[in-house]
């Protein structure tokens, strides 16, 4: 299968590209550098509506992973970049492939469990209503931007991804240093749910979405066992053999990270991967301790 990937240099993209190549797929990458020496690179500039349709000839599937990192204090400029890097890029890519004479069969677009907002201990499926707040608003618009592709007969999958566990980057990589120093602890009350997923299952589920014709629309990409922050903290401490005695009160988290803390660290989102499971996907790392052990074993 000839597959086009955006965001190939990111956390998920760098794991997905070699997986697909080893599986025998032909992978092309969307890049922002003109005149790339790599013959498989396709230039685009989504902020100036630049994406040559002819360069997409023969593409059978598209995986869209681009997006500004949401970590960090959410200034007005940061929030604009978070929004534009998802909605503007998705809209251009969706409209472009929708207008092709020979369209791809499937469009897999990253999304996020931030769609649901802060929901306490409510168990959330793909049928649950959207939540409130900046992230929920962004995700709604992000998914809506895939409409041109879906309306033109391209099977479109919006993968609502949870907290990705990988030593190579993301939340886990940022947590390791304080935890290894024995300075880790719960955040806020510790009762908020974190819906997580191992990087191996992110890659596996993307491949599953590419080849499973029954999958379309929103699909929760999270492990089947969401845990509270307190459970996550205790498990990570056990896996790396460190105490977890230094909590971060909610007010301290808000002082340090502002709005981001409320939306990511203190919000509770308990999500189940109902559609993935029903479609036959089998998780490689369904439990947190096993997922952490495998994630931290790599690249040592």
pLDDT of residue 242: 93
Residue pointed to by tokens 């360069």: 55
Asked if residue 300 is part of any domain, the answer here is no
Element (H, E) at 232: helix 229-240
Asked if residue 298 is part of any domain, the answer here is no
Asked if residue 192 is part of any domain, the answer here is yes
pLDDT profile of the chain (300 residues), mean per 10: 96 97 96 80 94 93 96 93 97 97 97 97 97 96 98 98 93 89 92 97 98 98 97 96 91 89 93 98 97 79
Asked if 66 and 89 touch (Cβ cutoff 8 Å), the reply is: yes
**Domain range for residue 124?**
2-293
pLDDT of residue 299: 45
Asked if residue 152 is part of any domain, the answer here is yes
pLDDT of residue 166: 94
Asked if 94 and 146 touch (Cβ cutoff 8 Å), the reply is: yes
Q: In degrees to the nearest 10, what's the CA dihedral of 52, 57, 61, 67? A: -20
Query: Residue 54's domain is classified under what CATH number?
Result: 3.40.50.720
Question: How many whole angstroms from its chain centre is CA 163?
Answer: 8
In total, how many domains does the chain have?
1
What is the C-alpha separation between 182 and 144, in angstroms, rounded?
Answer: 43
Question: 166: which 2 tokens?
Answer: 């990988």
- For the entire predicted model, the pTM comes to 0.95
pLDDT of residue 141: 98
Question: 85: which 2 tokens?
Answer: 């890097």
Asked if residue 177 is part of any domain, the answer here is yes
pLDDT of residue 298: 56
């Amino acid at each position: 299968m000839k597959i086009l990937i955006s965001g190939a240099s990111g956390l998920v993209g760098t794991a997905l590209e070699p997986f697909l190549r080893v599986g025998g797929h032909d992978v092309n990458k969307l890049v922002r550098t003109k005149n790339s020496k790599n013959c498989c690179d396709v230039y685009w500039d989504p902020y100036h509506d630049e994406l040559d349709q002819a360069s997409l000839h023969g593409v059978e599937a598209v995986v869209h992973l681009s997006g500004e990192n949401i970590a960090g204090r959410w200034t007005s400029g940061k929030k604009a970049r978070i929004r534009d890097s998802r909605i503007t890029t998705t809209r251009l890519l969706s409209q472009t492939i929708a207008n092709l004479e020979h369209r791809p069969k499937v469009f897999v677009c990253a999304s996020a469990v931030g769609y649901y907002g802060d929901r306490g201990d409510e168990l959330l499926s793909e049928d649950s209503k959207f939540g409130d707040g900046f992230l929920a608003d962004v995700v709604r618009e992000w998914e809506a931007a895939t409409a041109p592709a879906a309306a033109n007969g391209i099977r479109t999958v919006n993968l609502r991804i949870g907290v990705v566990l990988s030593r190579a980057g993301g939340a886990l990589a940022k947590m390791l240093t304080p935890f290894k120093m024995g300075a880790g602890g719960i955040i806020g009350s510790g009762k908020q749910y974190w819906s997580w997923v191992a990087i191996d299952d992110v890659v596996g589920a993307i491949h599953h979405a590419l080849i499973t014709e029954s999958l379309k629309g929103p699909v929760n990409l999270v492990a089947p066992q969401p845990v509270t922050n307190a459970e996550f903290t205790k498990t990570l401490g056990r896996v790396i053999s460190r105490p977890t005695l230094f909590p971060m009160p909610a007010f301290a988290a808000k002082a340090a990270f502002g709005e981001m803390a409320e939306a990511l660290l203190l919000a509770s989102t308990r999500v189940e991967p109902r559609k993935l499971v029903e479609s036959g996907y089998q998780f490689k790392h369904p439990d947190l301790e096993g997922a952490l052990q495998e994630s931290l074993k790599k690249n040592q």
